[in-house]
Chain A
Amino acid sequence: MPELRIIRNYVGIKDSHTIESYMSRGGYAALGKALKMDPDEIIDEIKRAGLRGRGGAGFPTGVKWSFIQRDSKKPIYLCCNADESEPGSFKDREILEQDPHQMLEGMMIACYTINSHKAYVYIRGEMPYGASIIEGAIKEAYDKGYLGRNILNSGFDLDIVLFRGAGAYICGEETGLLESIEGKNGEPRPKPPFPAQIGLFGCPTIINNVETLAFVPHIINKGHQWFSAIGLPKNTGTKIYGLCGDVNKPGLYEIPLGITARDLIEEYGGGIPNGRKVKAISPGGSSAPLLTADELDITLDFDSLAEAGSMLGTAGVTVMDDNACMVRVAQNLAHFYRDESCGQCVQCREGTWWLEKMLTMIEQGRGKMEYIDTLLDACSQMRGTTICALADGCAMPVESIVKKFRHEFEEHVRLGKCPFENKHMGDWS
């Protein structure tokens, strides 16, 4: 399947991040167009385009926007989720650093649509370069009159504020993000209430991913038919896949939704180095259940992956070759989630800690056979029982690894040591 660049079209080109570059290719025309549209018309356009959230859950963006009661007496907020901290995920970063005005224009259109006059870009603390680019881009937009009072003489006012995170994966979870902007510990809130009713500072709020917002101006410019014709039914448009791990050509590839894992790895990734074979892949960041070498013909879109018991997540595809120790991979994952759990929910705080302990014992040859079922049972009770999806994000991949590579766990226990020599742990660290 050929590459189709909508968002990545100008990356790598000199000064692509500047407003001059963006405007020279028709940038901010969508804003002018949108400001003349009725908000319901915009929502309808986004709905019919079939745009689904690129932050992980694939929720239809137009539907999300329609949850806002636009005549609310309280202020309405938009937050752009630029916290991208999931292992194996690096797609938003490129947009932020190389072509941020698409995202800002998307935010402006979204704000106009939901009647918001203040929006935040919540950027991961470890992206100081991206933050400086966004800061510059916001300033450029003010200078050109795309932000501030009475934008393009429409009577619409909007301010965008850059907010830098302080280094926590959990602040990417939408309500953890809101707490963080409010100056509190980044701890997700129990839902309901949902942010569209009670969000930032107790006001109606929409949270959207960077990539999601970046698609918005393109859809407004070219129309929903154009967008919905790309990709698969209900899985429309292109997707930026982040390919990493044991592949010859890791990197970002923007392709219509619906490429198979095999094609992505072979055609784009150039296959596996040193003539080795694929053992497993994660199709969507570190939270998605893994796929085995036998499952590479599944297409990497929201619904096909869900049907296969996994998820598209962030579309960060991590490849592990046949030298990977799957116990070590699981242990590494559990370690990450243990460190990143906010600690509110016991299943998550203690569960991630417990999983990591058991996996470490097995990896070091100190494990017992019964740990294997205990791992599965613990995972099953960490799923769907907590405030946010971080616990699921740990349990799902670990559970899939134990189920799909049970023999490796048994072998560790039987041998009393790790059977792999030059093993590695997947590319997550």
Chain B
Amino acid sequence: MLRSDAEISRDLSVSLARLRSEMKYCVRCSNMSDEDLCRICSSSSRRQGLICVVADFRDVMAIEQTRQFAGTYHVLGGLISPMDGVGPEKLRIDELVGRIVDEQIHEILIALSATMEGDTTAFYLAKRLEPYQLTISIISRGIAIGGELEYADELTLGRSIQHRVPFGSQGY
């Protein structure tokens, strides 16, 4: 049975509207979620004390696909770009700092795009997190320079999490 195009598009717009109205963000990590706390944050099998910092919830999906990461996430909501009006205060960086104390975080993995703004954001995070004596690592750059994280293929992204490199403190 073929339904009319009009019917299909009406169904589609109804489900899109429902998706939008039901879309929530995890109160802890800001990932997309149905509940207050997302499935990753509330899972007992995820390693506590390790946070992967990403720019966007789509990056969470990309990294989850690789099955290489067992910690929790923190979604910043973008990258620092002052000329576009995005200063650090517009991102969820204070919340990240709060979590480090509250959740006794000892390791941060930075997984941001290999762009100028990605680098600026990574440097900035390293500076802000300096007082907490964490292990800070950054995904290794198998990703093309200028490449967006969400378009990286799974294999490359997975490998760059396995081969993450220390960031800042001990030298490299």
| A and B interact | no
- Seen from chain B, the residues whose Cβ lies within 8 Å of a Cβ on chain A are none
